[in-house]
Amino acid sequence: MNAAPTTAPMEAPVQTETAGAPLPIIAVTMGDGAGIGPEVIVPALLHADTVRRCRPVVIGDAERLRQAARILGVACEIVSVETPADAVFGPGRINVIDLGLLPADLPWGRLSAVAGDAAYQYVRVAAELAVRGDVQGICTAPLNKEALHAGGHLYPGHTELLAHLTGVEEVSMMLSTPKVKVIHVTTHIGLIDAVRRIEPGLVERTVRRGHEAMVRAGVAKPVIGVCGINPHAGENGLFGYGEEEEKIVPAIEVLRADGIDAVGPLPADTAFFLASRGDYDLIVAMYHDQGHGPVKVMGIEAGVNLTVGLPVIRTSVDHGTAFDIAGTGRAEAGSMVEALRQAAEMSTAPAR
């Protein structure tokens, strides 16, 4: 990730309620401590937009965040708390449930099994808080999959890890940019395996999760475009072996009968263009690269990764650990600010 220098956060009056409702508490996992996670968290949590929308509590290592603040030249108070309920919110203050797992001399920008294990533990604690109802959303800084595996935790990524930790059998990955939103029927598996796994029930459940997420985000009647599997969505049997008719069309028929405005199967090479001009509120991609490729072309810098189907909404930056610039102060916090915004927007307000 090539990034511009981070600007100083804007100050704003502290708010703990909006329109009479308490602001949601968002657990912010620190990600891989050798990457840029700490450097994007510090300015993002102090940003005026974050302060107005939510009450963030970091699950991570307080000293690593202090190192990041010094690198960035940001003056703030980083305070350790035992639970989210203990957190006090005020200007220039960052609350941290400090797990204290990283050595003080952990190198920036280098693969570390210790940092990989710590990244797992941050997510584990956040998931426990979510299941107990202590937080209303989770926002994750990036982890490094190789470091995660080196630390003894063999998961493809955050999505599968959070599903396991919260006891949810099936979740969906959604990517959101200013131009287009996309939800995936399959993600981190090979293309041949993805085609085998796609079936009408999975397509239907994925569309329903996407529909629910869009409604929660304020789109009352979302129009959802569903991609085909083959080029030109099979073009009436010219390409492939009838996968669209077998695996996708039955799901769309059930969804439309239930009042969900799902359209397709659509040729993927035009679906994203149509979504970018406003024809569709959400695109359903059948496999990883079908959705990720267009999204990263159209808006990775402001992109957000969401997991839908968990007990709480989970959002994340749509970039990696950026080991090449970690520890330099060059990381851009805009995607983390946007991830926090969407976590707050799509989280249910806590009970009084």
Residues 228-268 have pLDDT tens digits of: 999 998 788 888 889 999 999 999 999 999 999 999 999 99
CA distances to 29, 126, 250, 316 from 99, in Å: 11, 12, 48, 21
CA distance 350 to 167: 22
Q: Render pLDDT for 150-178 as a digit per residue (tens, 0 to 9).
A: 999 999 888 889 999 999 999 999 988 87
Q: In sequence order, what are the residues at sequence separation of 6 or more whose Cβ sits closer than 8 angstroms to the Cβ of residue 241?
A: none
Q: In this predicted structure, what is the pLDDT of residue 233?
A: 87
Residues 288 and 341 in one domain: no
Question: Distance (Å, rounded) from C-alpha 347 to C-alpha 310?
Answer: 11
What is the token pair recorded at 248? 């996708």
CATH number assigned to the domain comprising residue 315: 3.40.718.10
Regarding whether 92 and 72 lie in a shared domain, the answer is yes
Same structural domain, 294 and 346:
no
Q: Say yes or no: 130 and 184 in one domain.
A: no
Tokens of 293: 């490729």
In this structure, the answer to whether residues 235 and 146 fall within a common structural domain is: no
Tell me, yes or no, whether 281 and 329 share the same domain. no
Q: Are residues 85 and 153 in the same domain?
A: yes
Number of compact structural domains in the chain: 2
Pairing of strands 181-184, 172-176: antiparallel
CB contact at 8 A, 210 and 201: no
Quick one: 217 and 285 in the same domain? yes
Query: Are 256 and 109 within one domain?
Result: no
Do 294 and 319 share a domain, yes or no?
no
Looking at the structure, tell me whether residues 261 and 130 fall in a common domain.
no
Give yes or no: residues 287 and 318 share one domain.
Answer: no
Domain that holds residue 338: 1-170+310-352
pTM: 0.81
